[in-house]
Amino acid sequence: MILIPRDKEQESQPDPEISSKKKGGKRSHPDYRQTTIYINKQIEKKMKAAFLEDGVEDFSQWIEERIEEWLEGRKQS
């Protein structure tokens, strides 16, 4: 077996992509609450395909933005 030494600096630095997901999860954030909705299966299938096409990675964030836009529109009425 061949052992390749790691760079000490590289070893001490956590992977930012992994650590940011662990630290900033919405599940453990006090300002967030899980909500469940019912949606037609065909609409869900189309929505997921559109999200993939458009590069939407965070469904919760996308929904939150749409709700904020809707609420702002209601204020203007």
Contact (Cβ atoms closer than 8 angstroms) between residue 34 and residue 27:
yes
Model's pTM, two decimal places?
A: 0.60
Q: What is the pLDDT of residues 6-59, one digit of tens each?
A: 665 555 555 555 544 556 688 899 999 999 999 999 999 999 999 999 999 999
**One-letter amino acid identity for 31?**
D
Summarize the confidence of residues 58-73 as an average pLDDT. 94
Determine the pLDDT at residue 35.
92
pLDDT category at 77 given cuts 50, 70, 90 is: confident
Quote the CA–CA distance of 66 and 63 in Å, as a whole number: 5
Quick check: 4 pLDDT over 80? no
**What dihedral do alpha carbons 36, 39, 42, 43 form, nearest 10°?**
-100
Kindly state the tokens that stand for 5. 């030494």
